[in-house]
C-alpha cells in the first residue's frame, strides 16, 4: 500500500506542477494546441506520462475538449478557461483542474466551485456513506449563487483506471449505498454555471478523446487494437498521439467497440462553466489533498 500511495503522490505532484505552469499560459490569442503539448511534455520530462490528454475547455464547454492534430483554435480575449490535467506513474493516476477567468467577469463562479469542492473534501472521511456526505455538503453550501452541473461528478482512481468503482456526485443522490474507505484515492470535482444554465452537461458530436475497452477484434484491426492497448492500457488518449494511419482507423475501432469515445460536453443552455478539481487520498483523519500548488 505504501508503494501504491507513493506512486499516486508522485503523479499528483507532477500534475500540480503542470497546472501551476498552465496558469500564466492562459491569455487571449494563445493556441490551445501549444498549451496542451507544453503541459504534456512537462509531465513526460518529470518522469511520468499523461493520464489523459490535457483538456482545455472554453466558455460553455464543460469537459472533454482536447486539441486535435494541427488544431487552429486560440483562446479568446474574454471568458472562462478550464485546464484539466492528469499524470500517471506506473499506471497510478492523478487528476486535477483549475479555471482561469480571462475577462474578470465570472470570478464568482470559480469561487463557488472551489468553495464547494473544499466543503466536499472537508467532509470526506473513512466510514462515511457517500449519500450522507453529499447531503451534508449540499445543506452546508446553501444558498448557492450558481447552479451545480449535476451529471458531472468525482470518481475513484485506481491503477490504469480514471473512473473506477465509486463516484462522488455533487447533489444528494436518490440511490447510493457506497461508503468511503481508508486508502481509497479520488478525483473530487465540481462544475458550476449560472442560474440561467440548465445545470446539466450535454454531448456534442465532436470527439477528441478515446480510450481502449480491452476488446481485441480479429484481423488487421486486432493488431492495431493490441498496439493501442500496449501503449495506453485503458487510459484515455488523443488522436494527436497516434500515427496518421492509426487516426484513420479510430471510427472503425469505435464501431467494433474496441474504443470508447468521449464526446465534448457543453452546458445545456450554453452558459459559462467553471471547474475545480483535486486528487485526494482517504486517511484515518480525513481526506488529504495531493494536488495543491
Helix (H) or strand (E) holding 205: strand 201-212
pLDDT at 142: 83
Domain range spanning residue 194?
2-203+270-289
pLDDT at 1: 65
Q: Are residues 142 and 224 located together in one domain of the fold?
A: no
Q: Are residues 223 and 193 located together in one domain of the fold?
A: no
In Å, how far are 41, 44, 106, 227 from 74, measured between CA atoms?
19, 24, 20, 33
Compute the distance between CA of residue 145 and CA of residue 5 in angstroms, rounded to an integer. Answer: 37
Compute the distance between CA of residue 282 and CA of residue 162 in angstroms, rounded to an integer. Answer: 17
**277 in catalytic set:** yes
31 bridge partner residues: 74
Among candidate residues 155, 176, 212, 278, the one labeled active-site is 155
Neighbours of 20 (CB within 10 A): 12
Q: Are residues 91 and 217 located together in one domain of the fold?
A: no
Residue that is written with C-alpha cell 505552469 in the block: 21
Collapse the DSSP code of 187 into the 3-class scheme (helix H, G, I; strand E, B; otherwise coil) and give the result.
strand
Q: Are residues 59 and 189 located together in one domain of the fold?
A: yes
Q: Are residues 188 and 219 located together in one domain of the fold?
A: no
Helices 32-45, 2-22: inter-axial angle, 10-degree rounding: 140
Question: For 66, which DSSP code?
Answer: -
Residue that is written with C-alpha cell 446553501 in the block: 142
Structurally, the chain folds into a number of domains equal to: 2
Question: For 89, which DSSP code?
Answer: E
C-alpha cell at 206: 465532436
pLDDT tens track for 168-204: 999 988 877 899 999 999 999 999 999 999 999 999 9
What count of residues does the chain have?
293
**95 in catalytic set:** yes
Q: Are residues 97 and 233 located together in one domain of the fold?
A: no
Q: Are residues 199 and 216 located together in one domain of the fold?
A: no
Which CATH number goes with the domain that contains 45? 3.90.230.10
C-alpha cell at 219: 484481423
Q: Are residues 138 and 247 located together in one domain of the fold?
A: no
**111 in catalytic set:** no
Among candidate residues 95, 101, 112, 114, the one labeled active-site is 95
pLDDT at 173: 85
**105 in catalytic set:** no
Helix (H) or strand (E) holding 227: helix 219-232
Residue that is written with C-alpha cell 471547474 in the block: 275
Among candidate residues 34, 37, 111, 163, the one labeled active-site is 163
Compute the distance between CA of residue 100 and CA of residue 14 in angstroms, rounded to an integer. Answer: 20
Q: Are residues 197 and 214 located together in one domain of the fold?
A: no
Q: Are residues 36 and 178 located together in one domain of the fold?
A: yes
Compute the distance between CA of residue 66 and CA of residue 69 in angstroms, rounded to an integer. Answer: 10
**254 in catalytic set:** no
Q: Are residues 109 and 173 located together in one domain of the fold?
A: yes
Q: Are residues 107 and 65 located together in one domain of the fold?
A: yes
Closest CA to 235 of 45, 96, 88: 88
Among candidate residues 9, 40, 84, 101, the one labeled active-site is 84
Measured over the CA atoms of residue 202, residue 203, residue 206 and residue 212, the dihedral's sign is positive
Collapse the DSSP code of 2 into the 3-class scheme (helix H, G, I; strand E, B; otherwise coil) and give the result.
helix
C-alpha cell at 10: 508522485
In Å, how far are 184, 202, 203, 264 from 61, measured between CA atoms?
30, 10, 10, 7
Low pLDDT (below 70) residues in the chain: 1
Which CATH number goes with the domain that contains 224? 1.10.10.10
**17 in catalytic set:** no
Amino acid at each position: 500500500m505504501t508503494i501504491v500511495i507513493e506512486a499516486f503522490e508522485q503523479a499528483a505532484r507532477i500534475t500540480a506542477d503542470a497546472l501551476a505552469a498552465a496558469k500564466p499560459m492562459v491569455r487571449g490569442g494563445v493556441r490551445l494546441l501549444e498549451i496542451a503539448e507544453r503541459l504534456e511534455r512537462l509531465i513526460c520530462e518529470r518522469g511520468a506520462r499523461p493520464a489523459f490528454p490535457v483538456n482545455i475547455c472554453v466558455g460553455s464547454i464543460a469537459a472533454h475538449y482536447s486539441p486535435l492534430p494541427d488544431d487552429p483554435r486560440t483562446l479568446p480575449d474574454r471568458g472562462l478557461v478550464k485546464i484539466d490535467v492528469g499524470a500517471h506513474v506506473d499506471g497510478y493516476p492523478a487528476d486535477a483542474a483549475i479555471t482561469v477567468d480571462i475577462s474578470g467577469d465570472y470570478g464568482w463562479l470559480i469561487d463557488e466551485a472551489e468553495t464547494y469542492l473544499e466543503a466536499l473534501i472537508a467532509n470526506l472521511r473513512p466510514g462515511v456513506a457517500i449519500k450522507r456526505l453529499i447531503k451534508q455538503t449540499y445543506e452546508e453550501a446553501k444558498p448557492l449563487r450558481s447552479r451545480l452541473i449535476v451529471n458531472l461528478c468525482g470518481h475513484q482512481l485506481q491503477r490504469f483506471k480514471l473512473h473506477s468503482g465509486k463516484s462522488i456526485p455533487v447533489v444528494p443522490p436518490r440511490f447510493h449505498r457506497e461508503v468511503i474507505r481508508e486508502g481509497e484515492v479520488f478525483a473530487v470535482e465540481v462544475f458550476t454555471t449560472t442560474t440561467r444554465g440548465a445545470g446539466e452537461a450535454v454531448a456534442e458530436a465532436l470527439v477528441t478523446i478515446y480510450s481502449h475497452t480491452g476488446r481485441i477484434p480479429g484481423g488487421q484491426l486486432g493488431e492495431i487494437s493490441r498496439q493501442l492497448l500496449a501503449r495506453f492500457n485503458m487510459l484515455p488518449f488523443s488522436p494527436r498521439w497516434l500515427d496518421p494511419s492509426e487516426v484513420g482507423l479510430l471510427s472503425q475501432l469505435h464501431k467494433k467497440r474496441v474504443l470508447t469515445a468521449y464526446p465534448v460536453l457543453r452546458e445545456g443552455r450554453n452558459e459559462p462553466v467553471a471547474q475545480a478539481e483535486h486528487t485526494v487520498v482517504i486517511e484515518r483523519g480525513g481526506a488529504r489533498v495531493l494536488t495543491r500548488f
